[in-house]
Structure 1
Amino acid sequence: MMRRERLGKWIIAVPMMLLAIATIAPMLYGLNISLKTRKDYVLDRLGVTQTFNVQNFFDAWNNADMGRYFANTIIVTVFSVAILLVLASMCGYALSHLTFRGSKVAFLIILAMMMIPFQVIMVPTIKVLSDMGLINTFPGLIAAYVAQFLPFTVFFMTSYYSGIPKELTEAARVDGNGLFGVWARIMIPVGKPALISMGILNALFVWNDILIALLIMQSPQNRTVMVGVSALRGQYPDNVPTYIAGVLLAVLPIIIVYLIFQRQISAGVTAGATKG
């Protein structure tokens, strides 16, 4: 019996260890390259750096206008996530606790929208934003992100809110709360774990996006950080260490956020998956 338990643990542990190595190794390799000089990289691409040239990070930040890109990305991420959470929380409450004609059809439409990749609706999305004069503007990019990520967020919040007893919301209505009052006083506090998880996940999606931002933000000064990092490759075609340093600067905030909130992400996703 003990041998079977140990064997079972090893069967789980070994793939997880390999997955961890496969995830961490490229990051360590990139860090190693970013600390090399251009000459050291050309002479020995795989060797461990001996110079620890941190100047590459300063060059990537200053010469590529990374500060502006970070500011643009923070603005877009904050507003996109805030709008997503408000709309998804309201829709989740309505679909899970309110009875109205067409609610099931609306939920099925949301499920169908989750299966449509952005590449399929890319051209009409850009056409609509162009007709509205929103190309190369922050509102246009925010609207595109909200439209893209809202179906999944609504589905998740609906699943989470379905596990909340309707007696709780009905009691709040009896106490004199309207629909908005129930949503603000009951659904938001109770749904905090799911909202935190969705906020972090959507922030990761928005921060890491390249395609949507590249299509909408056509002006260099309006670029997001991932688009700016992609442009670094053309700016430093023969200086790979500086380019890799820029990539690491771009992903560093995401790594920090994930390390800080990994428990909240896991708890919220698990709760959303098990309720409903």
Structure 2
Amino acid sequence: MSRTRTSRWLVAVPMGLLALATIYPLLFTGNVAMKTRREYVLDRFSLAPAARWDNIVGAWTSVGMGRYFLNSVVVVTAAVVLLLLLGSMAGFALSQIRFRGSSVLFLGCLAALFIPFQVIMVPMARVMADLGLIDTYPGLVLVYVAQFLPFTVFLMTSFYRTIPPEIIDAARIDGNSVYGVYRRIMLPMGTPALLSVGILNALFCWNDVLIALLMMPSAEHRTLMVGVTALRGQYSADIPTFASGVLIAAAPVLLLYLFLQRQIADGVTAGATKG
């Protein structure tokens, strides 16, 4: 019994310390956001004397974080919808439809996962500039789709391969076309995987800085993470305002992790087991 308790403590203590190290920066940032500049300069580690929301309101309105937030919502929503549509169709085709070259296409998607964006960003930027899509929402959405589609196809293919082919054959015998099987059978059965992959892709797009910074050079079209990065230079002397911008950017991600953590974990292991 004592050995069991000792082993539990050996796991619980490091995990508790890790959780504290993860939570503390967020608590510190929230505490700084509630201070005035004078209070922060006098003692940056003390607790804020009162819960002041002036810095957060100012960052949302005066600094332009509200505009950046809206830009991110529009771009991320459009990108995730396209990723789920294209990824689910490709996953269905690669996993359940027999055609020549399907294995090669799947291996191509798998290989694309290992190509860093830094390798292709210069030719990609030149292509998008030639098409006139730099500093446009459609251009950024298309780049997000191109960057994260291999990941989506891989997970959806892995998930759809766990569905018995007898279900597809029965649907075809009932008179469903390939599109009917996809719409009536595969989409409803793939809802858990679609939800998980959608959440992961939303997090990827929301937290991105490099692609958005490359595709959206103007201040008007900045996404939220690029806006937070710009705040670091513009408000380096006003740390409470910068901390407020960080909180605004982190809030949606924290809410997703808080309420949808099970779906996020399922998305990581989608298709890993047969059943």
Alignment TM-score, normalising by the size of structure 2: 0.95
Q: Which amino acid aligns with 1:118?
A: F
**Alpha-carbon separation, structure 2, partners of 1:268 and 1:4:** 36
Contact 1:173 1:182 in 2 (8 A): yes
1:16 alignment counterpart:
15
Partner SS for 1:222 = coil
**Alpha-carbon separation, structure 2, partners of 1:88 and 1:191:** 11
Q: Which amino acid aligns with 2:218?
A: S
Deviation at 1:229, TM superposition (A): 1.4
**Alpha-carbon separation, structure 1, partners of 2:111 and 2:240:** 43
1:159 alignment counterpart:
158
Structure 1 segment 1-276 matched on structure 2, within 5 A: 2-275=1-274
| Cα 1:130–1:14 shift into 2, 3 Å | same
RMSD of equivalent CA atoms: 1.5
Unaligned runs of 5+ residues in structure 1 are: none
| Cα 1:85–1:43 shift into 2, 3 Å | same
| Cα 1:178–1:130 shift into 2, 3 Å | same
Contact 1:60 1:242 in 2 (8 A): yes
Deviation at 1:12, TM superposition (A): 3.2
Partner SS for 1:221 = coil
Deviation at 1:4, TM superposition (A): 4.2
Bigger Cα displacement from structure 2, 234-243 vs 116-125: 234-243
**Alpha-carbon separation, structure 2, partners of 1:258 and 1:152:** 20
Deviation at 1:179, TM superposition (A): 1.1
Bigger Cα displacement from structure 2, 9-18 vs 161-170: 9-18
Contact 2:228 2:246 in 1 (8 A): yes
In the alignment of these two chains, the number of paired residues is 275
**Alpha-carbon separation, structure 1, partners of 2:146 and 2:5:** 48
Whichever structure has more helix as a proportion of its residues is 1
CA displacement 1:123-156 (0-9 Å, x = unmatched): 0111111111100000100000001111111111
**Alpha-carbon separation, structure 1, partners of 2:12 and 2:222:** 42
Contact 2:88 2:156 in 1 (8 A): yes
Unaligned runs of 5+ residues in structure 2 are: none
Deviation at 1:243, TM superposition (A): 0.5
**Alpha-carbon separation, structure 2, partners of 1:149 and 1:171:** 33
Alignment TM-score, normalising by the size of structure 1: 0.95
CA displacement 1:88-131 (0-9 Å, x = unmatched): 10111111111111111111111110001101111011111111
Q: Which runs of 4+ in 1 moved over 4 A?
A: none
**Alpha-carbon separation, structure 2, partners of 1:14 and 1:167:** 49
**Alpha-carbon separation, structure 1, partners of 2:139 and 2:274:** 35
Deviation at 1:263, TM superposition (A): 2.1
**Alpha-carbon separation, structure 2, partners of 1:128 and 1:197:** 32
Partner SS for 2:260 = helix
Contact 2:161 2:271 in 1 (8 A): no
What fraction of aligned residue pairs are identical, expressed as a percent?
Answer: 57
